[in-house]
Amino acid sequence: MDFDAFFEQELERLRNDGNYRIFADLERHAGAFPRATRYDGENTQHVTVWCSNDYLGMGQNETVRAAMHEAIEKCGTGAGGTRNISGTNHYHILLERELADLHNKEAALIFTSGYVSNWATLGTLGARLPNCVILSDSLNHASMIEGIRHSRADKVIWNHNDVQDLDRKLSLIDPSRPKLIAFESVYSMDGDIAPIKEICDVADKHGAMTYLDEVHAVGLYGPRGGGVAEREGLMDRLTIIEGTLGKAFGVMGGYIAASAALCDYVRSFSSGFIFTTALPPAIAAGATASIRHLKDSNEERMAQRDRVATVRARFDALGIPHMPNPSHIIPVMVGDPTKCRWISDVLLDTYGIYIQPINYPTVPKGTERLRITPSPLHSDDDVDHLVRAINDLWSQCALARQVA
């Protein structure tokens, strides 16, 4: 078999479907977020990033950078091993304590990414809890879906954020079987928020465990950045809270926070936790500094909220349709894959505005969008430039406007 010919042919199919991914080659500027240099062949270009998940610009925060520098000088670069074989650094322990405290849980366990934390935890619990059934929200992230698949546990998909459907589906399961409900707080693409309390009520009624992915909420919601469950006073009702250190916290890594027994269990049985090199100490130090900063400081969260409200109001005044949701994610609805890609290309090439187009299969066909994430560091001029550019391109594409 001509292997490369096979790969090329499959890639060609992806290109023809318009699903081939092209990465923007960026160099982010510390101290000047959201600016970056974009590399394009021989050329470079100054751009403003409007689609980063470094939601609060913590990736360039002075305290976080200083903590990382200090840890490198103290401990060197890598961890030097798996957690079990020489790789546990004191910075990992401090980070896990910080996370347990953030979510008011007995313990926390860190992983190399949020993806791995979902995959490994759901994979381990689903495989090892005898006869377990996992109830998964229909819009759950790929990392949860893959973890559940890997566990080979029975899976029941319930309609997105539909508590009645969840209740009905739980009622059909043998009450003696262990059950785990897996869902997210803020959903990445639509920016909607789960009815956490109602889901916990249904879980209690059926004796099910709850697993909440707060990846798009930690650092951003709640008085200490503990997520939507913290804001709503519900953290103690969740069996497991999962989060990332790579989005609002601006570094990298993932974690779960739960009871000491559960964390110890996953630590002891999960392949995805055990057989991989621990995070570099500097990453753990940076994440700890970031979490501590956002526990005490509301400034970034308030400024972000202000920016989000401003961008939404400006779009409303021009009739640019964006999905109404109660979060910081602004999905501007284009509804056509070619136009969505074209607008994104022109924004980048002509206006120096970088917003990755979101097309099928990430979102359903007909709901192609620009997913905009305003940060506390986007200036009034940045907002002005963005809104004018999208307004121009909206007219050029003859896209419909929404009358207020």
**Mapping DSSP to helix (H, G, I), strand (E, B) and coil, where does residue 286 land?**
helix
Binding ligand PLP (rule: CB under 6 A), the pick from 59, 114, 147, 225 is 114
Count of residues that interact with ligand PLP, criterion CB under 6 A: 14
**Residue labelled with tokens 């399961």:** 173
Query: Taking CB under 6 A as the rule, which mask of x and - marks residues 3-22 in contact with ligand PLP?
Result: --------------------
CB of residue 400 to ligand PLP, shortest distance in Å = 29
- Pick the catalytic residue from 197, 247, 295, 339: 247
Q: Toward ligand PLP, which CB reaches closer, 254 or 374?
A: 254
Q: Toward ligand PLP, which CB reaches closer, 24 or 383?
A: 24
Q: Toward ligand PLP, which CB reaches closer, 136 or 188?
A: 188
Q: Toward ligand PLP, which CB reaches closer, 280 or 321?
A: 280
- Tell me if 353 sits within 8 A of 370, measured CB to CB: no
DSSP conformation class of 50: S
Region of 24-32, 114-122, 279-287, 390-398 interacting with ligand PLP (CB under 6 A)? 114-122
Region of 107-115, 283-291, 370-378, 394-402 interacting with ligand PLP (CB under 6 A)? 107-115
Side chain identity, residue 342: W
Active site residue 74: no
- Tell me if 246 sits within 8 A of 252, measured CB to CB: yes
Helix (H) or strand (E) holding 328: none
Q: Toward ligand PLP, which CB reaches closer, 193 or 320?
A: 193
CB of residue 86 to ligand PLP, shortest distance in Å = 25
**HSE, side-chain direction, 13 A CA sphere, residue 234:** 23
CB of residue 329 to ligand PLP, shortest distance in Å = 10
Q: Toward ligand PLP, which CB reaches closer, 213 or 382?
A: 213
SS3 of 143-208: the string is HHHHHHHHHCCEEEEECCCCHHHHHHHHHCCCCCCCEEEEEECECCCCCCECCHHHHHHHHHHHCC
Q: Which of 95, 153, 89 minimizes the C-alpha distance to 121?
A: 153
If one asks whether residue 113 binds ligand PLP (CB under 6 A), the answer comes out as: yes
Binding ligand PLP (rule: CB under 6 A), the pick from 184, 190, 230, 368 is 184
Q: Toward ligand PLP, which CB reaches closer, 276 or 391?
A: 276
CB of residue 294 to ligand PLP, shortest distance in Å = 16
If one asks whether residue 215 binds ligand PLP (CB under 6 A), the answer comes out as: yes
If one asks whether residue 254 binds ligand PLP (CB under 6 A), the answer comes out as: yes
If one asks whether residue 124 binds ligand PLP (CB under 6 A), the answer comes out as: no
CB of residue 122 to ligand PLP, shortest distance in Å = 11
Query: Taking CB under 6 A as the rule, which mask of x and - marks residues 195-214 in contact with ligand PLP?
Result: ------------------x-
- Give first-to-last CA distance, the chain, whole Å: 59
Which string of DSSP letters, residue by residue, matches 191-260?
--B--HHHHHHHHHHHT-EEEEE-TTTTTTSSTTS--HHHHTT-GGG-SEEEEESSSTT-S--EEEEE-H
- Tell me if 226 sits within 8 A of 108, measured CB to CB: no
Inter-residue long-range contacts of 320-323, CB under 8 Å, 24+ positions, other chains counted: 320/387, 320/390, 320/391, 320/394, 320/401, 320/402, 321/400, 321/401, 321/402, 322/372, 323/190, 323/191, 323/369
Query: Where in 295-354 is the site for ligand PLP (CB under 6 A)?
Result: none
Query: Which tokens sit at 334?
Result: 């284009």
If one asks whether residue 190 binds ligand PLP (CB under 6 A), the answer comes out as: no
Query: Which tokens sit at 92?
Result: 């990992």
If one asks whether residue 244 binds ligand PLP (CB under 6 A), the answer comes out as: yes
Query: Which tokens sit at 147?
Result: 């973890």
Q: Return residues touching ligand PLP (CB under 6 A).
A: 113-115, 118, 141, 143, 184, 188, 213, 215-216, 244, 246, 254
Task: List the catalytic residues.
Answer: 247
